[in-house]
Structure 1
Amino acid sequence: MAACPGLDPYQPGSDPDWETLRFRLAEFRLDCLDNSEFFAIYGAAQLNTGQLSEAIESLELSLLLNPENGAALIDYAQALIQDGQLFAAISANDLLLEREDIPPNLASQVTERQENWRSLTRQTIWQVDVTGGFDDNLNGAPKQDLITLTPSGEPILLALSEEFRAASGGILNMRAVGRHRLLTAGRQHNFLGELRSRTSTTSETELAQLGARYNLVQGGRSSSWSVSAGFDHLYLSGKPLFSGISGSVRFSPSSSGRCQRYYGVAFQRQHWHERGQLDGLESKLGLGGNCPIFSDNKHRLNAEISYLHNTELKQGRQGGSREGWQVVFDWEYTLRRGVLTAQFNHTRLRDRLGYSPLLALNARRVSKRNTLLFQYRQSMPVFGPGAQFIATMYYQDQLSNIELFRTRDTSVELGIRWQF
């Protein structure tokens, strides 16, 4: 093995030809296996020619041979950030800033780089949606205007009064969302606050909702788990209607294929302000998977199936506890100028007890609800930076053995979303 040549002719200089330098250095790599300066220059050449993993290996070897090699440490921190190892890069940069021999002009550059990298650990996004459209069942009324009663076993037809029939009209939806993300080593903390309102041509159907969520994600590129907690408050015509406190846990094991599967459990404590006898504790146990459909990754599909159980919290709730199952499909397609998403949800529930002697001979209520949602989003800079055009179509059809719970609803909305 020949001796490692002098490296002065191979110093990068102010305007290096990194590709040529990398090939020249590779010719005598085996002669310089114990030379920290060689691997610092070689790693820099690899880094600047797109050979990221090779650059990290060379720079690590340089620092192993000489931990005080500042040039190698500068490039090593840059290689780590390009590899997505944010906290490792910040730690390497901290070592540079602790050095007493770092030149003042270089120290200012490293300090600025450190501030930029630390800013990546926290992000706040504000979002405002303003949409308008039409809804053909604002009050969630039954499909039929006549309901069959069975008080003595014989059917009796009852005509619903006007206030209990489906009301249609124009709607204006407004939504404000704040999201904050905080990254720490191995963990991600997500905070969300949301306020939304719906005004319509019928004041009795005006809604307002306030909610907040916290989500903790821990894991790496293989397996991960997350824990979430939050609350929701719903107001109808200015009066409190519903409050819920929820929590969930999800685990995603490591996967060698294109699809990422997950398992989850969730609960919600439900309180109805005007009708406390409806209060319940809903639990959900499910499994799902997320997959790119084609190799171009423009299509993504998420599928989930879950077992549902809603426990009555106050004795005497009509129907008692109920249970069932749910299947959800989420599809996303990235177009050249926008994003198209769709969601299909099928839910089946069955009461444990008869619902009412006045309805269907006190049969246990069975409901089957199908919902379909389409949304298209496209950048619309004419309305300002971060503005998007939104078009949404929603359809719901619920079947039941009890006529009172057979409903159908269709809505269409157009509007603008701003993110900043």
Structure 2
Amino acid sequence: MAVQRSSRPALSRPLRLLVLAACLAPPFAWSQAQAPSTPPATACPLQPRYPLPADRSDLQKLATAQQAAADERGCLTNAAFHAWRGATLLALGRTAEAIEPLERALLHDPDLPGAQLDLAQALAAEGDTASARAFLAHMRQRSDLPLPIGQVIDRQLEILSLPTPLANVLTAGWQSRWQFSAMGGSETNLNNAPSSSEVTLTFPQGDVTLPLDVESRPRSGGATLGVVQWQGLRPWNESVLVVQAEFKARQTGDSETSYQQSDVAATWLDAPAASRQWVARVARSHLRYGGTSLLRATRATLQYQWEARERTEASPWSEVLAGCRPAASLELEHRGYPESRVLDGLYQGGAAGWLCRRSMVGRGIEALTANTFFYGAQARLGSDRPLQAARAGGAYRRAEVRAQWEGPWLGGRVGAQWSTTRQRDRTPYSPLLGNVPRSTIRHVLQLEASWPLTESLALVANAEISRQSSNLAVFDARQRSVYMGLRWEVMQ
């Protein structure tokens, strides 16, 4: 009997991929092909294989083979097989037929996350938005769910409650988000000047200490900061494409200390539904400072992500690391300085770290969002090779350690990030500066907080404290900044 479809909005296709790939976050540590909790006595003649065929005719042949094997003894109680069959029917657009095998999969393994997401999508497509919301709300309570993915689930829950015309617009094609921020504040070093008031030069006759010109010393003052951000998600067969763009402008009372910065990046996730996957990313940045094109950088990253750790009783760190996903990457970056080509360089390096998320128990979607904690750590090591031999200091080695945390605070959310970066040249920087290799260490603490005023408007504040020390005093620097303003968010 044909199923009468409702005009209620369906979840975006495929929801599983969009949720898993949201906001460049690590994907779920779950595989749709996860083994059933109780293996059948007889093996199923068809074993789940991902990704699904991209060609529709091959997909149809697979659905026919799955239908023929559905009543085999070894397949009847195989949750992974039924979830696989349901995913195939969903990919063919046969949402009504997909519901039965997906429900059967969850009957044998209620915690199979891939099947939960697919069933929510199928139910929404058939007009049963109440059940779809219930499944998504259940998914939202998982302790190993990364924060950005939870935010996308929240958005899908909001979409299901919207009037039909608007929801249909939001669920078609690209899923995107705009953010507009306007802030005002002050900084203690608008011109990024050295903190020292004098410089010591080395001559054959001996050292000479000279005072720095007043214009070369740190300038403090007020500034306004405007930021526009766009982020888009789009499925591509079994993969997901994520595109991000940001434009930031700081305006001060002096054009020499104002700047404009633009960044654009594209990220490809090859199999977000899998427990492990490759992630490739390319990015481009441009910085104009004081009316001059100061820096143009192009970056490429190839990352591998492992499945998230599960909670065990054996280790005291089990509770802290539960839901943490390890990742390692290779990085390549070309840095160009249009006004001083001798500084151009090519950076090569690697990074490794963890990305973790925990949720405290709460009632309702709002409580779940408010009680989410996010934390992680990363270590990076690499070297920058000059493209011209005349660059002062030659090649340099750079090492960085970074840690971050985010959680609820006073009805809003607060985040903190700490980084320490060490850099050392391989050759002496300059005969006039002691003829020794330059060595620097930089510490940066960043704080950010937001409090919602309405569904789309929030009060935001951020602060930054940085300190750079060097064996060459001319590279010592200090900076503090505080900004506060409003952020407006628009979903499309």
| Counterpart pick for 1:308 among 382, 385, 393 | 382
Cα distance change of structure 1 residues 174 and 78 upon mapping to structure 2, 3 Å threshold? farther
Cα distance change of structure 1 residues 261 and 163 upon mapping to structure 2, 3 Å threshold? same
Q: Is residue 208 of structure 1 aligned with residue 208 of structure 2?
A: no
Alignment match, 1:299:
373
Q: Is residue 379 of structure 1 aligned with residue 452 of structure 2?
A: yes
Q: Is the 8 A contact 2:184 2:483 kept in 1?
A: yes
Q: After superposition, give the CA deviation of every residue in 1:315-364 in whole Å (9 maximum; x if it has no partner).
A: 110000000310000111134621111000000010010000111x2110
One-letter code of the match for 1:414?
A: M
Q: Is the 8 A contact 1:87 1:185 kept in 2?
A: no
Question: Please, which runs of 5 or more residues in structure 1 have no aligned partner?
Answer: 1-52, 65-69, 94-111
Alignment match, 1:403:
473
Cα distance change of structure 1 residues 72 and 156 upon mapping to structure 2, 3 Å threshold? closer
| Counterpart pick for 1:223 among 262, 276, 291 | 276
One-letter code of the match for 1:160?
A: L
Q: Is residue 235 of structure 1 aligned with residue 288 of structure 2?
A: yes
Q: Is residue 253 of structure 1 aligned with residue 318 of structure 2?
A: no
Paired residue secondary structure (1:241): strand
| Alpha-carbon distance in structure 1 between the residues aligned to 2:231 and 2:345 | 29
Q: Is the 8 A contact 2:98 2:122 kept in 1?
A: no
Q: Is the 8 A contact 1:78 1:89 kept in 2?
A: no
Which is bigger in relative contact order (C-alpha 8 A, separation at least 6)?
A: 2
Q: Is the 8 A contact 2:256 2:291 kept in 1?
A: no
Q: After superposition, give the CA deviation of every residue in 1:157-190 in whole Å (9 maximum; x if it has no partner).
A: 1111122110111010111112111023431111
Structure 1 stretches (4+) deviating beyond 4 angstroms? 77-82, 86-90, 115-118, 293-297
| Counterpart pick for 1:273 among 304, 326, 338 | 338
| Alpha-carbon distance in structure 2 between the residues aligned to 1:118 and 1:174 | 26
One-letter code of the match for 1:174?
A: G
Cα distance change of structure 1 residues 121 and 76 upon mapping to structure 2, 3 Å threshold? farther
Q: Is the 8 A contact 2:354 2:377 kept in 1?
A: yes
One-letter code of the match for 2:465?
A: Y
Alignment match, 2:97:
73
Deviation at 1:254, TM superposition (A): 2.2
Alignment match, 2:116:
83
Cα distance change of structure 1 residues 300 and 151 upon mapping to structure 2, 3 Å threshold? same
Q: After superposing the two structures, state which structure 1 stretch, 234-243 or 168-177, moved more.
A: 234-243
Q: Is residue 351 of structure 1 aligned with residue 422 of structure 2?
A: no
Cα distance change of structure 1 residues 74 and 306 upon mapping to structure 2, 3 Å threshold? closer
Q: After superposing the two structures, state which structure 1 stretch, 403-412 or 236-245, moved more.
A: 236-245
TM-score after normalising by structure 2: 0.63
Larger radius of gyration: 1
| Alpha-carbon distance in structure 2 between the residues aligned to 1:294 and 1:116 | 31
One-letter code of the match for 2:202?
A: T
One-letter code of the match for 1:283?
A: Q
| Counterpart pick for 1:370 among 443, 449, 462 | 443
Within-5 A mapping of 1:50-199:
73=97, 75-76=99-100, 83-85=116-118, 89=122, 119=171, 122-152=174-204, 154-199=206-251
Paired residue secondary structure (2:256): helix
One-letter code of the match for 2:332?
A: F
Paired residue secondary structure (1:73): helix
Q: After superposition, give the CA deviation of every residue in 1:101-120 in whole Å (9 maximum; x if it has no partner).
A: xxxxxxxxxxx99x959926
Identity %: 25
Cα distance change of structure 1 residues 177 and 355 upon mapping to structure 2, 3 Å threshold? same
Q: Is the 8 A contact 1:77 1:89 kept in 2?
A: no
Cα distance change of structure 1 residues 224 and 162 upon mapping to structure 2, 3 Å threshold? same
What is the RMSD of the two structures over their aligned residues, measured on CA atoms? Answer: 3.3
Question: Please, which runs of 5 or more residues in structure 2 have no aligned partner?
Answer: 1-77, 106-113, 127-163, 311-321, 362-370
| Counterpart pick for 1:330 among 391, 404, 419 | 404
Q: Is residue 283 of structure 1 aligned with residue 348 of structure 2?
A: yes
One-letter code of the match for 1:175?
A: V
Deviation at 1:77, TM superposition (A): 8.5
TM-score after normalising by structure 1: 0.73
The structure where strand makes up a greater share of residues is: 1
